[in-house]
Structure 1
Amino acid sequence: MNAQLGDDVNTWKPALGCHAVGALNDNGIRLLTFCLAHDLIVGSSLFPHKNIHKLTWNSPDVLKQQKKQLKFNSSNLSNRDILASFNATIGGKFNILAELDDTSDINKEWANFTDTVNSAAREHLGYRKGKQEEWISSESRDLISRRKRAKPSLGSDYQELNRQTRASLRNDKKAWRASQIRDVNGNIIKDEAARLQRWSEYFKGLLNADEPEETIDFSVFTQAEELNINMDPPVREEVDKALGLLKRNKAPGVDNITPEILKDGGDVIREWLLRICQHVWKNEVTPAEWGKGIILPLPKKGDLSYCSNNRGITLIDIAGKVFSTILLQRVKDEVDLKMRDNQAGFRKGRSCQDQIFSLNQIIEKCLDQQLPASLISLTSRLLLTQCTCPPCGKFSASMEYLPR
């Protein structure tokens, strides 16, 4: 109501007590007039309280209000009735839209897809329950549970637990605030907008590399052999296989569509997703939103108030992962045939364990036999030479950069 009552007790007695705050405004006059006409009393003005406990306030600037991405409760799709209504809502929208042709806008089509899925999910699935505050420690959670069990008695035990719980929560909050992000000068950043700006600056500097000083002349390389890869537009079987490879309980991207919605959403969602993938394939243009991601910092070691002690992961749209999986399934078998046998990393059914074991054995034998050993890194032009001195048996290593 934004009503401020003022402190003119004599004029508005008995509706107003002596502990009201603020300057009387128009809404306050209306409220007090209503109370006098109906023999009502503003109870908050009868007792002494802190001013912050007497007033409530919401910022009129919605841009300053913290926004949190809510996740849909995808587990409701296991209910057949909810799944049927969810599919009916999406199917009705899908049938209304005109057939997508090669000249239509892929961004508009993607926006129709995400809007329809999100609208149907809000209506039929709802949102997951929010998690507890991250700054509350396990000790405080234990005290909260004990206080809850002791509350019915309201005895001395409850009062002591209540005091301990509130003190523990205050300490947790202080410790959490003390671990907030620092700026480049090492000062704690208290403003939320400034913290987000600091994260943005850090990840921009970390992920955006400078232009290379030396460029590669690809004309000197011989033309590679053409691979026998299927170049036809994606089909329904490929979309189904890609969706089957998606892992559940993964965070969504900017579109807020979880893997469970695409996997369990029914045939209508799969057909619509197939149509989008075919359009991307034919026109070689992806939706602009597929190029966006949500970067989340995850703590490593050390003082977490420094951005460098956190690593970032990027959450991208799940539909973009589906299209990437289709491409990967088409090329991986052909590319695997062209790889050397000693290439073990990032290959199906193989790992680098054998190479690591062989390298370890070579180094151990060189140490036992007091022979020099050299390791060349082709990616960084680094030559690492290690040897043992026969007279004294000491181990030494040297490192140098090789010319291109």
Structure 2
Amino acid sequence: DILVIMGDLNAKVGSENEGLEQVMGVHGVGEINENGEFFSTFCAEHDLVIGGTIFPHKECHKTTWVSPDGRTQNQIDHLAISRSFRRSLLDVRNKRGADVGSDHHLVLATLRLKVVASGKKFNRRDRRYDIGKLRMEQGQEQFRLELRNRFEALQDLQPEDNVERDWVRVTSLLKDTCETVLGFRNPQKKDWLSEDTWRDVQSRKEAKERVNASRTRSQRLNAQAQYNERHRQVKRGARRDKRRWVDEQAQKAEQAAAVGDMKTLYDITRQLSRKGFNRSQPVKSKTGELLTSAEQQLRRWEEHFKEVFSPDHGGEDIEELFASAGRLLPDLDIAISDAPPSEAEMRKAVQELKNGKAPGVDNIPPEVLKVDIDTTVRLLLPVLQRVWNEEVIPEEWKKGLIIKIPKKGDRTCCDNGRGITLLTMASKVLAKIILGRVKDRIEGLL
């Protein structure tokens, strides 16, 4: 494995490498200090090479820290790499032009690695469609038009000879429409900085460039003073914008609470409180051993949920439950219609799907099916009727994505994690149709 250590170590290692030829080069800055001795010893013990001392550069491209008065510059930020990967390190230098509002310069390293392809295909399920576009009338109209055009083209093709291929054809049409019209959601955070603050940021960047271009000490002190003033302006503007944004979010939360929109209220509250949890947090095995690798954790969660969903986990015997129900209702005719799903039943089931629910393995969210219900019914109803008549279910309908939700208590214990299963929307539609028939029959008898 390759090991890379980098950061502000407050260690000056200098340029004298006698006795440390395997650890550092001769292109360091200044003289070694106590932290530098500790760092070089650490690297020698762990077969590491200090990258910033290997490559010849101008001193201004090697120093990583400037004192507040601008008089002192040192190389105290370092990057160390495994000695066996020394040839993979092509360059290490600072980038003074990167304006990060700090007295440290950005340190950039160039690595060249030969990585063996794993052969694992990119999973489109990991990327969510930008459903927000469907909240606008223009986005809805564009989606309807694209969906209808693709559906009309599908009508000209020969029908498939089995349910599985029928389902694949339908999902491909829906996914292609989503990618064309919606695209994928951008995971970047919302930008709450105002235009005035961004102009101050640009002004600070220009001041930083003047500091780096200073030729004399007096020029540098003057440029540094201007940079410090620009930096204070940026911080004041950012605080002002953050307060304004928080006030706006609070107003939106009040409006959501007034109309009973609990989802929006919860999302805003979580965003403002910054509450979250580490999804890759270690878990314990049955024996109490802490599992840190992703593969070990996955196997442990698999073991846990198999036990939870096992028939022997303490739940009631399903056959005995049905038998007892039959004994309690011996004389009632509770026969349910076994006719294939109708257009009206499917239309009602699609309308009952809740927005904002995460999709299953098919990555088709409920909003996509509800944009144009007429076309959705014409597209999906033949598949549902074929499933019903042939009593064959597509493979994706048999799969569910188990998402672990932490409960109170020790999160390293699997028993403190609650699992929810994400199913395909089409299988939910069929389940709602069956449930509707059962409810109608039972309510008619009560």
Structure-1-length-normalised TM-score: 0.57
1:316-345 C-alpha deviation (Å, 9 max, x unpaired): 011111111111112212123445xxxxxx
Decide whether the 8 Å contact of 2:95 with 2:106 is kept in 1: no
Aligned match of 2:268: none
Q: Which of 116, 120, 126 is the matching residue for 1:60? A: 116
1:137-163 C-alpha deviation (Å, 9 max, x unpaired): xxxx99xxxx999854235996xx9xx
Moved more, 257-266 or 205-214: 205-214
Aligned match of 2:434: 327
Q: For residues 311 and 131 of structure 1, do their structure 2 counterparts lie closer, same or farther at Cα, with a shift above 3 Å needed?
A: farther
Q: For residues 322 and 157 of structure 1, do their structure 2 counterparts lie closer, same or farther at Cα, with a shift above 3 Å needed?
A: closer
Shift of 1:238: 1.2
Aligned length: 289
Tell me how far apart the structure 2 counterparts of residues 46 and 300 of structure 1 sit (CA, whole Å). 45
1:243-266 C-alpha deviation (Å, 9 max, x unpaired): 111111110011000000011145
Moved more, 243-252 or 208-217: 208-217
Aligned match of 2:310: 208
Is 1:75 equivalent to 2:132 in the alignment?
yes
Is 1:304 equivalent to 2:411 in the alignment?
yes
Q: Which of 358, 366, 372 is the matching residue for 1:251? A: 358
Shift of 1:123: 1.4
Q: For residues 56 and 280 of structure 1, do their structure 2 counterparts lie closer, same or farther at Cα, with a shift above 3 Å needed?
A: same
2:177 alignment partner AA: A
Is 1:97 equivalent to 2:204 in the alignment?
no
Please list, as runs of the form range in 1=range in 2, the aligned pairs for 1:107-256 lying within 5 A after superposition: 107-130=164-187, 152=204, 153-155=230-232, 176=278, 179-210=281-312, 225-227=332-334, 229-256=336-363
Secondary structure at the aligned position of 1:250 is classed as: coil
Tell me how far apart the structure 2 counterparts of residues 185 and 148 of structure 1 sit (CA, whole Å). 54
Identity of aligned residues (%): 28
Shift of 1:283: 1.4
Aligned match of 2:147: 87
Secondary structure at the aligned position of 2:421 is classed as: strand
1:154 alignment partner AA: H
Tell me how far apart the structure 2 counterparts of residues 64 and 58 of structure 1 sit (CA, whole Å). 17
Q: For residues 316 and 333 of structure 1, do their structure 2 counterparts lie closer, same or farther at Cα, with a shift above 3 Å needed?
A: same
Q: For residues 98 and 128 of structure 1, do their structure 2 counterparts lie closer, same or farther at Cα, with a shift above 3 Å needed?
A: same
1:54 alignment partner AA: T
2:158 alignment partner AA: A
Tell me how far apart the structure 2 counterparts of residues 109 and 76 of structure 1 sit (CA, whole Å). 28
Secondary structure at the aligned position of 1:154 is classed as: helix
1:376-399 C-alpha deviation (Å, 9 max, x unpaired): xxxxxxxxxxxxxxxxxxxxxxxx
Secondary structure at the aligned position of 1:83 is classed as: helix
Shift of 1:81: 4.5
1:128 alignment partner AA: R
Shift of 1:228: 5.5
Decide whether the 8 Å contact of 2:361 with 2:423 is kept in 1: yes
Which residues of structure 1 form unaligned runs of 5+? 1-6, 10-15, 29-41, 133-140, 162-171, 340-404
Which residues of structure 2 form unaligned runs of 5+? 1-24, 28-54, 63-78, 97-104, 205-229, 239-273
2:167 alignment partner AA: W
1:109 alignment partner AA: D
Secondary structure at the aligned position of 1:110 is classed as: helix
Tell me how far apart the structure 1 counterparts of residues 114 and 232 of structure 2 sit (CA, whole Å). 37
Please list, as runs of the form range in 1=range in 2, the aligned pairs for 1:37-52 lying within 5 A after superposition: 44=93
Structure-2-length-normalised TM-score: 0.53
Decide whether the 8 Å contact of 1:82 with 1:124 is kept in 2: yes
Tell me how far apart the structure 2 counterparts of residues 105 and 118 of structure 1 sit (CA, whole Å). 20
Tell me how far apart the structure 2 counterparts of residues 218 and 228 of structure 1 sit (CA, whole Å). 15
